[in-house]
Amino acid sequence: MISRPKGTNDLLPEDIWRWQKLELLIREECAKFNYQEIRTPIFEETGLFQRGLGEATDIVEKEMYTFNDKGGRSMTLRPEGTASVVRAYVENNLKGTGLPAKLYYLGPMFRYERPQAGRYRQFHQFGIECFGSSEPSLDAEVIMLAYGIYTKLGAKNVELKLNSIGCPNCRPNYLEKLKEALKENQESLCSNCRKRSLTNPLRVLDCKEKGCQATISALPRITDYLCTDCSDHYTEVKETLTLWNVDFVEDSRLVRGLDYYTKTVFEFSVENLGAQNAVGGGGRYDKLVEEIGGEPTPAVGFAMGIERTILAVGDAWQKEPDVDLYIVIIGDTKKEALLELIRARKQGLKAEMDHLNRSVKAQFKQANRLNAKYCLILGPDEIKQGKVKLKNMRDGEEIQLTLSDWLGGIK
């Protein structure tokens, strides 16, 4: 027997309703904010991610599923959505369809990681990308859309952290100060941070090692080094969020894992998820479109981890019944059952009947298993008189109705 690959999941009917419910909510919220869906390939040329995400990121350094296709081209299963959407935006000249271009995606992502709770090798993301404007109101709108979804999910204790990590004008200045401070503190940092001090110093701020925390909290803060443009932008993002009653906390250590962010960065986390508590995040990436070969185009986006978000919902949701109606066959009433089944479905009911010649008792058991709201009971004597029984499975009440209009008894 071959098992599924490590770090992947089978999504079974007993859980899939959660996915469908979340996806429906996502699509409704996107529509309200005028975001349109885009579907891009699941694999891309490896160079897209190398260039887009940055060579010194966790993803590019060690997490990509890269392979050569039969033509010898290096391909990679997409580890995230933004690079692909940017490529598609440029390649299909979506600028021509009017700016800002507001796009969303939903689908599987692949990262070669050590599997654990909330961390898989194939996982799913919902994300939005907004191209063509550097206005802070759009940063706030992206955050608001995400915030609205988390709020509506009923997930408890969702926290929104916010920061600005500056732009190519002010960040180099900060990075100099940061590198100096890191140089002085090498001994108190983990080996990963020591390496990062040289390759990607900003990422040191993101280290989760306990031993590094004291040093990290004493490092210079990026928000003290922002240029006027970035600092005004940040202020306006915060003002708009406040105007919309979005709760956030500022965190000058928040940097996020990818190289492409400029100005705004943010992350949503949930208390009860343990180590893997980040359920989504995003930020502004004003240089990425250019990086990937398009015209300079400001942009801002967000990505949500679907698995972790569903974990965060926990038991806040109740499953809808599988069927509204289960038809119970007594004696030789199968033909009538077949007719009433189709009539019920035509009326829009979710309806089922027995196909296994079960006993009456076993049919009721099956109806309960499916959480049926009603059972329509077809007995041979009653059918002869044009009568049926309708049992309300919630309160057990049974009423007799005529065969021709029993549907009127369904509430």
d(CA 257, CA 276): 14
What's the closest the beta carbon of residue 173 comes to ligand ATP, in angstroms? 26
Where do we find the tokens 């071959």?
2
Give 182 or 279: the residue with its C-beta nearer to ligand ATP.
279
- Residue with smaller CB distance to ligand ATP, 180 or 271: 271
Work out the number of other CB atoms within 10 angstroms of the CB of residue 30: 20
Could you tell me the two tokens for 41? 């390939």
Closer of 195 and 358 to ligand ATP (Cβ): 195
Give the span between the Cα atoms of 147 and 164, in whole angstroms.
18
Of the pair 90, 279, the CB lying nearest ligand ATP is at: 279
Are 246 and 147 in contact by the 8 Å Cβ rule? The answer is: yes
* Shortest separation between residue 281's beta carbon and ligand ATP, angstroms: 5
- Nearer of residues 243 and 316 to ligand ATP, judged by Cβ: 316
Peptide bond into 298 cis (omega under 30): no
Q: Tell the smallest beta-carbon distance from residue 198 to ligand ATP (Å).
A: 21
Return the number of the residue (193 or 353) whose C-beta is nearest ligand ATP.
Answer: 193
Q: How many residues does the chain have?
A: 411
Torsion of CA 234, 235, 240, 245, to 10 degrees: 100
DSSP 400: E
C-alpha separations of 38 from 61, 93, 102, 282, 375 in Å: 28, 14, 10, 18, 43
As a whole number of angstroms, the distance between CA 102 and CA 100 comes to: 6
The Cα 284–Cα 302 span in angstroms is: 9
Strand partners, 388: 401
Residue 112 CB, nearest approach to ligand ATP (Å): 9
Q: Of 216 and 383, which CB lies nearer to ligand ATP in the complex structure?
A: 216
Q: Give the residue with the Cβ less far from ligand ATP, 56 or 278.
A: 278
- Residue number, nearest CB to ligand ATP: 305
The CA distance from 338 to 92, in Å, is: 51
d(CA 212, CA 197): 13
Minimum CB distance to ligand ATP smaller for 200 or for 366 = 200
The distance of closest approach from Cβ of residue 357 to ligand ATP in the complex, given in angstroms and rounded to an integer, is 45
Q: Nearest approach, Cβ of 83 to ligand ATP (angstroms)? A: 11
**Which residues contact ligand ATP by CB under 6 A?**
80, 111, 113, 118-120, 123, 125, 257, 276, 278-281, 303, 305, 307-308
Q: What is the largest CA-CA distance in the chain?
A: 94
What is the phi/psi pair of residue 191, to 5°? Answer: -65, -35
d(CA 378, CA 360): 11
Query: Crossing angle, helix 136-153 and helix 13-32, to 10 degrees?
Result: 150
The three-state secondary structure class of 270 is strand
- Chain Cα centroid distance, residue 242: 24
Q: Which CB sits closer to ligand ATP, 162 or 344?
A: 162
